[in-house]
Amino acid sequence: MHSSRDDSPEEELRATIEQAVHGKSAAGQPTSPVPPVGEQPTVSLRDAGATPPGDLSDTVAETIPSLSTLGGGADATHFGDYEILGEIARGGMGVVFKARQKRLNRTVALKMILAGQLASTADIKRFYTEAEASAQLDHSGIVPIYQVGQHGSQHFFSMAFIDGQSLQDRLMEGPLPPREAAEMLAQVADAVRFAHSKGIVHRDLKPHNILLDADGKSKVTDFGLARRMDGGEGLTNTGDVMGTPSYMAPEQAAGQTHEQGPLVDVYALGAVLYATLTGRPPFQAASLAELLRQVIHQEPAAPTLVNAAIPPDLDTICLKCLHKDPQRRYVSAKELQGDLLRFLRGEPIAARPIGKVERASRWCRRNPLVAGLAATTASLLVVGVLASSYFAVRERQRANEAQTNFNNAEKERRRADAKSAESARNLATAERLRGRAEQLAYSSQLALSYREWELGDVEHSPPGCDTLATMKSWKKSPTAAWGSFSKLGRLPSTGSSP
């Protein structure tokens, strides 16, 4: 929007409406809608490859009515039964004004298609789908629709004006306190539960589409991508990627339209909770392609790693919502709401923390390259350890066998030494016995010789008696004979010396 310093407020508003409704600046040049700071617009990859038109000034002049025609006069602040008071917000498809409905004298939010007459059939259909879906949902947590219609060539619908700010604007100030975040999300989950009970899936839940009124109550708005669960006609085909990338479920990012049921909203609720607790969405990237890759394949960092003050139960609730596998999320928004209320009451929650195995698996999915290198290194280490262990066991077995053989040999040696000692003892005993026997035999011979000597028959001493000479000398010297017997320890039985 271009305006000089001398423009009056009415002229500035007129220029704003001219730009928003017709896509032109006050100078008459085509403009491109720019999302507010911090807001991530809803995207469609189906249209991403379309070539933008060239100079549309002639086409705009021919197809879009002048502002005075749209407003029914020269006063640009009037649009049919509505007096436009100012712009509230704009997105990729529509622009929302604050307006006063003159007939009922009430303040409303007035939404129009941003492209005006240049809007495609699909844009118009999506616009009315949003109005129809919202009109069917009478819930305190959903912004109600008042009127749907067309004024001139411009399609519009009016809804309740929420005097407050969006959750996106609130998060620009920083994360919410954990308890406040849980209370807010419990209200949103209840509204989403009600929408699901009426067969409607939102498919674009994000902080910008959650309004906070003056009392801090949450209101869900913008059902532009809503889809009926009864299999009715939809606005997207298989392969279309519709939604806000940082808050869309993996099945949405992959364009799996047939799988986009209530669980995509459960995922989005978890992403919103993540943002309220940490101040940022679960995934961020410099390019849309990289962001979609992260959403589909990468696991989010645990909220407690971003903000250590987050209670573990809220961390568990958040990560359960954000599970890649839809079947491992909360089965419904109602079940999610129940766990949030249990947390607020200080009761144990139903969700269980991620186990060590699951945590390791998620880490590997977040860091595939590092995980691959770590797995390769670990495999090599395991192989090395196993090989080392094998050879160590073999060497130990061989050492044990050698020790056993040595012990057996030592036992045999000791046994042989014992037998040798025993043999030596036996030999010594035999020698003593032999000597004793020889001594006894010798003594007997001496006794016999002595007897013969006493009888004087020295010549008839026993044959072989080696004392014969000695006995012969005894005839000459009986005292010498007695001494010889005394030395041999064998005295005659007479008991007296000669």
Given 123, 169, 190, 204, the catalytic residue:
204
Taking residues 263-281, what's their average pLDDT?
96
Q: Do 252 and 260 meet the contact criterion of CB atoms below 8 Å apart? A: yes
Q: Do 246 and 42 meet the contact criterion of CB atoms below 8 Å apart? A: no
CATH 1.10.1200.10 correct for 9-47+61-160: no
Catalytic (active site) residue 339: no
- Minimum mean pLDDT range among 126-135, 254-263, 412-421, 487-496: 487-496
Query: What residues are paired with 97 via a beta bridge?
Result: 87, 110
User: Residues for the chain: how many in total?
Assistant: 498
What long-range pairs does 161-164 form, CB within 8 A, spacing at least 24? 161/98, 161/107, 161/108, 161/109, 162/109, 162/211, 162/212, 162/213, 162/219, 162/221, 163/213, 163/214, 164/211, 164/212, 164/213, 164/214
pLDDT confidence bin for 461, thresholds 50/70/90: low
In the chain, the amino acid numbered 126 is R
More confident residue, 281 or 235: 281
- Asked, colleague to colleague, whether 9-47+61-160 and 165-356 share their fold, the answer is no
The tokens for 257 are 């339209």
User: Which residue reads 């020698």 in tokens?
Assistant: 431
In the chain, the amino acid numbered 401 is E
User: Residue 489 burial by CB count (10 A; 0-12/13-18/19+): exposed, middle or buried?
Assistant: exposed
The tokens for 20 are 């928003």
Q: Where are the domains of the chain?
A: 9-47+61-160, 165-356, 367-498
Q: Are strands 227-228 and 200-201 parallel, antiparallel or unpaired?
A: antiparallel
- Minimum mean pLDDT range among 13-17, 152-156, 347-351, 389-393: 13-17
CA angle 228–229–230, rounded 5-degree value: 95
Give the pLDDT confidence of 283-330 residue by residue, as tens digits. 999 999 999 999 999 899 999 999 999 999 999 999 999 999 999 999
Q: Tell me: pLDDT of 51 over 60.
A: no
CATH 1.10.510.10 correct for 165-356: yes
Q: Which of 265, 285, 309 is nearest to 174 (CA)?
A: 309
Give the pLDDT confidence of 87-104 residue by residue, as tens digits. 988 877 788 999 999 999
For residue 336, the model assigns a pLDDT of 97
CA distance 470 to 488: 13
